[in-house]
A and B are shown apart, each in its own frame.
Chain A
Amino acid sequence: MTTPLEVQGLGYELPGKGKGEAGSGRFLVHDVSFTVGAGETLVLLGRSGSGKTTTLKLINRLLEPTTGEVRIAGARARDLAATRLRRRIGYVIQEVGLFPHFTVARNVGLVPRLEGWEPPRIVERVRELLAVVGLDADTFALRYPHQLSGGQRQRVGVARALAADPPLLLLDEPFGALDPITRVELQREFQTLKQRLGQAMVFVTHDVREGLMLATRIGLMQQGRLVFLGTPQEFRQSDHPESKAFMAAA
């Protein structure tokens, strides 16, 4: 069986000014390497601005890496058409980004529709997914995003990412901006969900408790670099100053 995600020496250098010039020398992400196996969750932890979101965008090619390589199930990401690649990678974006002119059902069914599924199959899949994220289809399917609470919108964002059953999921602070109670609730549900789904996941957060709870392994980012990679157990005992700073905050 192939590894769902392999990242090798990944880097992103901001482009220089003007055409044909070399890069600016400013790296948003530098020399990041990790692999994520099936059923594993890699939690990317790091302060605001440490390069977590950028790393995710380099994986699904919303940004083209300037160095290094990404392999999805063994295939080089840059050899695949970007749109096809992205439909095979579930992506929960940090700002949720639901389409305001689509109902919840159409938002969730987006990728299946792009992939040309038959409408009855999409309807069924949408019901199934809303149940998975704990939303009652009869109540919510025909609502518009502005008729949902923040937490409900985030659940819809997760359902949308799961829709075409992608073997790899990228989640960018899927529980950000929630009250602590709802947040813990969603984290618990997500843990059970994770076991059921068996996908490979990269889960971004700056909440160390959330990270320790959900991670198979933790990657700690600092100023664009991966300064620590190991199990939650190893993370607790790490001597790296940034790990200590995060543990102290937990």
Chain B
Amino acid sequence: MSLWEFYARNSGEVLGLVGQHVSLVASSTAIAIVLGVPVGIALTRRPAWRAPVLGLANVFQTIPSLALFGFLIPLPFIGGIGATTAIVALVVYALLPIVRNTYTGLAGVDPAVREAGRGMGMTDWQLLTQVELPLGLSVILAGVRVATVVSVGTATIAAAIGAGGLGVYIFRGVAVVDNTLILAGALPAALMALAADGLLGLAERRFAWRAT
């Protein structure tokens, strides 16, 4: 059976899995942004926290994803079988690039620009929201892009703990040694990663302000 035949016969299921996959990636990335950007901002205000926080995020990053899913299953509330556990794991992986890029983006704002803002009488909040975040946005978006692309790939493993997504086809294909089935899961995931990369790359360039 060719790939196209497979899609034609199972279009309902395919769309369902694509939907699950997108929602795993989107919700975990959104949560990682909500958590990671404030942490990255905090690091620019508290230089002493930088090394330990980025170090910790780095350590999380090195845990193999299958192992992390495994660790999470026995935990109450955030663990168990299903999407919640998968999302928690994906958030853990997405945090590092987002925290690090938020820090880098804000720290990279021209000191003269920051000083001008303070010298004109901006409060710390005004400086953050009107100067530092807009100027650092392109670097922050680069972190979001990396996090999203990685997350699309990692989310295929979520199928192993019953969270659904395109990994369902991949695992099934591996189990029955069916390359078409593996491809049926891998191809849309790859396209999704490329699309996320392209779109976020566009946004990133849109907010790259030219220095003077």
CB distance from B122 to the nearest CB of A (A): 6
Cα A153 to Cα B116 in complex, Å, equals 13
A144 touches B210 (CB 8 A): yes
Chain B interface (Cβ within 8 Å of chain A)? 110, 112-113, 115-123, 126, 131, 134-135, 209-212
Residue in contact with A86 in the complex, picked from B120, B131, B209, B211, CB distance below 8 Å:
B120
Which of A84, A87, A99, A110 counts the most chain B CB atoms within 10 A?
Answer: A99
CB distance from B126 to the nearest CB of A (A): 7
Q: Is A160 an interface residue (CB 8 A)?
A: yes
CB distance from A90 to the nearest CB of B (A): 9
Q: Is A98 an interface residue (CB 8 A)?
A: yes
Known pairs A96-B112, A97-B110, A146-B212; A62 contacts B119 (CB<8 A): yes
Residue in contact with B121 in the complex, picked from A87, A96, A148, CB distance below 8 Å:
A87
CB distance from B181 to the nearest CB of A (A): 49
Which of B118, B122, B210 counts the most chain A CB atoms within 10 A?
Answer: B118
Q: Is A95 an interface residue (CB 8 A)?
A: yes
B126 touches A114 (CB 8 A): yes
- Interface 1/0s, chain A 81-101, versus B by CB < 8 A? 011111100010101111111
Chain B residues lying within 8 Å of A87, measured Cβ to Cβ, are 120-121
Known pairs A96-B112, A101-B135, A114-B126; A86 contacts B212 (CB<8 A): no
B209 touches A60 (CB 8 A): no
B122 touches A97 (CB 8 A): no
CB distance from B210 to the nearest CB of A (A): 4
10 A-B residue pairs with Cβ-Cβ distance under 8 Å, sorted by A, are A60-B119, A62-B118, A83-B121, A85-B121, A98-B113, A100-B135, A100-B209, A100-B212, A101-B135, A146-B211
Cα A100 to Cα B116 in complex, Å, equals 12
Cα A197 to Cα B171 in complex, Å, equals 77
Chain A residues lying within 8 Å of B134, measured Cβ to Cβ, are 101
CB distance from B136 to the nearest CB of A (A): 11
CB distance from A63 to the nearest CB of B (A): 11
Chain B residues lying within 8 Å of A83, measured Cβ to Cβ, are 121-123
Chain B residues lying within 8 Å of A93, measured Cβ to Cβ, are 112, 115-116, 119
Cα A235 to Cα B104 in complex, Å, equals 48
Chain A residues lying within 8 Å of B113, measured Cβ to Cβ, are 97-100
A145 touches B119 (CB 8 A): no
3 smallest beta-carbon distances between A and B, as pairs: A97-B116, A87-B121, A95-B112
Which of A98, A110, A153, A160 counts the most chain B CB atoms within 10 A?
Answer: A110
Nearest neighbor of A86 in chain B, beta-carbon distance:
B121
Cα A99 to Cα B134 in complex, Å, equals 10
CB distance from A164 to the nearest CB of B (A): 9
Cα A111 to Cα B120 in complex, Å, equals 6
Nearest neighbor of A93 in chain B, beta-carbon distance:
B116
Cα A84 to Cα B123 in complex, Å, equals 9
CB distance from A190 to the nearest CB of B (A): 20
Cα A87 to Cα B117 in complex, Å, equals 10
User: 6 new A-B pairs (CB below 8 Å) besides A84-B121, A111-B121, A148-B212?
Assistant: A83-B122, A87-B120, A91-B119, A96-B116, A100-B211, A144-B210
- Chain A residues 25-78 with CB under 8 Å of chain B are 60, 62
Cα A82 to Cα B117 in complex, Å, equals 13
CB distance from B65 to the nearest CB of A (A): 38
Nearest neighbor of A101 in chain B, beta-carbon distance:
B209
CB distance from B169 to the nearest CB of A (A): 45
B210 touches A99 (CB 8 A): no
Cα A93 to Cα B115 in complex, Å, equals 8
Nearest neighbor of A161 in chain B, beta-carbon distance:
B120
Cα A153 to Cα B212 in complex, Å, equals 9
A146 touches B131 (CB 8 A): no
Nearest neighbor of A172 in chain B, beta-carbon distance:
B119
Chain B residues lying within 8 Å of A96, measured Cβ to Cβ, are 112, 116, 212
A110 touches B212 (CB 8 A): no
Cα A148 to Cα B123 in complex, Å, equals 28
B131 touches A99 (CB 8 A): yes
CB distance from B114 to the nearest CB of A (A): 8
Chain A residues lying within 8 Å of B212, measured Cβ to Cβ, are 96, 98, 100, 145-146, 148, 153
A100 touches B210 (CB 8 A): yes
CB distance from A108 to the nearest CB of B (A): 11
